[in-house]
Amino acid sequence: MRRVLIVDDEKWIRRGLIQSIAWGELQLELAGEAENGDDAYAVTMAEQPDVLFLDMRMPGMDGKQLLGLLSQELPELLVIVISGYSDFEYTKEAIRHKVFDYLLKPVRKEELNTVLAKACKELQQREHNRRAALQHRDAGWVRALLDSSAEEAGAGATDMTKSMPPEWVGKELMVLIGQSDVFLEAVDLDSACLLSCLREQLDRVKPLLFGHGSWAFEVSLMNGVTRKLLLVLSGSRLGRNDLQRVGGILQNVLKQAGCPSASVGLSTIKQEGGQLRGAVREAEQALKDRLLGQSDLVLEAEHKRAASTSIYPGEQERAFLLALQSGNCTAAEREFYEFLSKISMDTVSVEQLQRSSLLLMYAVEKQLQAKGADFGHICGKSPPVYTEILDARNDKDSVTAIFTEELIPAVTGFYNRLGEKQAGKVVEEMKRQVEAYYDQALSLQGIAQSCYMNPDYVSRIFKKATGKSFIDYLTDVRIGKSKELMKSSTYKNYEIAQMVGYEDYRYFSRIFKKRLGMTIGEYRNSVRHADLQGREEPCRNI
């Protein structure tokens, strides 16, 4: 809201003006009031109002003197003169100092609000012009500072120093980077409004910091998807306490833009322009050193961080990759959350969360490559693009969203499509192994691992294709082979059990009876009886 200050030596006039202004309709608020020029100057400098109603004839410092001071120190202030005197000298002074308007007492309510509406429109236009100018203001040397390609091309200290404003050369230099503690897709940091707000707040405190105003600053938005706000400082004495205050201003601006909490990374002090790119890296690293359980911090690059506790969970990675390969999205998400719980504890740093997330993403890419599949084609973005995206995520919820909303559905979908094509081949290979190795200790787990596939997935496709579970199929083959041996050999029962893969004869005997409805002895007797009958038939025919 726009702020209004009212200055008049008569209280009843101040009361009348306050009651007549359409505060809500014009979106205005009262910044304060004063009854003489000296108080008016002090309140104006402290409150920094947008509009000033000024009586020209007051005790002490009069309106003419106050206008002279304010036109020098607050040239953007809109002054509306209110006077009961149509004196030529006052009018001439008001015109000389380019006051916004001049009203004679008594002021009618309609006239007052018409002038205020016009003032609001002027302020709005100025804001629009300022934003338009700010969009181009940092397009030069600050953009060059953020351009990593310039550094790779060998742009060094001399190049950077030449591109800086001349008044910055020979001063202490420092970089501050502000960022939301949680990644918010909806927060719009890419706007001149944010830069304008930061500039205004820094301009307001500039006379109070770093040697009473003997410092300069420049602001910019970081490139890419990182959603970070960059502040570069130059001064003769960049003291630690004042740096903390500037960091607090940066945090407040980010919160006003919609960030629930924000932290700021501070570089060490540099002595020349060529060191500024290193300062950017230091400030970014300070932000990465924040532990996930911390928020709203101003982090110094040279400050020793608390030890972060994180070991990459390789076992959970393997379980996740197997779940992905099964094509079961729910199972893959469950295994991902197990993985996430190991890399997103409060004692883990932002950098370690990002690094572990990237390692998992590249493990998925490697798995897809083994299948002859292209990660970018399946997931819609290439690994380098996802690297940039994950590097901007500084909390576990935003990392979770990338995997559960994008990567997991895409990859499990691929494996489902692949499974439909390859299921027949896999089942035939399993049946071949059973036929070839039924006499050995076969298991679904072992066959699935030999095919580099998830056991649950293999079990499902096998039953769908054969109508039997793997165990039932293996048992049927073994019992069938045992029946053949009983028909054509004199092997003992326990020997046949071992020959078809059963070390435990008693277990084999139970399975045999359950499958055929008769004991092994009963079966062998029936086979001998059938064999004898077969021999007698030819004799009767002779």
Report whether pLDDT(100) > 80: yes
Higher local confidence (pLDDT), 275 or 489: 275
Peptide bond preceding 106: is omega within 30 degrees of 0, i.e. cis?
Answer: yes
Tell me the average pLDDT across 268-293: 91
* Residue range 9-26, pLDDT digits in tens: 889 999 999 999 999 999
Q: Where are the domains of the chain?
A: 2-134, 141-148+164-300, 314-421, 468-533
Kindly report the CATH number that applies to the domain delimited by 2-134: 3.40.50.2300
List the structure tokens of 417. 């499509």
From CA 526, how far away is CA 523, in angstroms rounded? 5
What's the pLDDT score for residue 536? Answer: 58
Options 3.40.50.300, 3.90.800.10, 3.30.70.270, 2.40.10.480; CATH of 141-148+164-300: 3.30.70.270
Q: Is the dihedral of CA 234, 237, 240, 245 positive or negative?
A: negative
CB 520 within 8 A of CB 509: yes
Residues 21 and 13: beta-carbon distance below 8 Å: no
Q: Where are the beta strands (DSSP E) in 292-375?
A: 298-300
For residue 131 the two structure tokens come to 């934003």
pLDDT at residue 149, rounded to an integer: 42
The answer to whether the pTM exceeds 0.85 is no
* CATH superfamily placement of domain 468-533: Homeodomain-like (1.10.10.60)
- Cα 505 → chain centroid: 62
Q: In the chain, pLDDT over 70 holds for what percent of residues? A: 85
φ/ψ of 327, rounded to 5, equals: 80, 5
Q: What is the pLDDT of residue 175?
A: 94
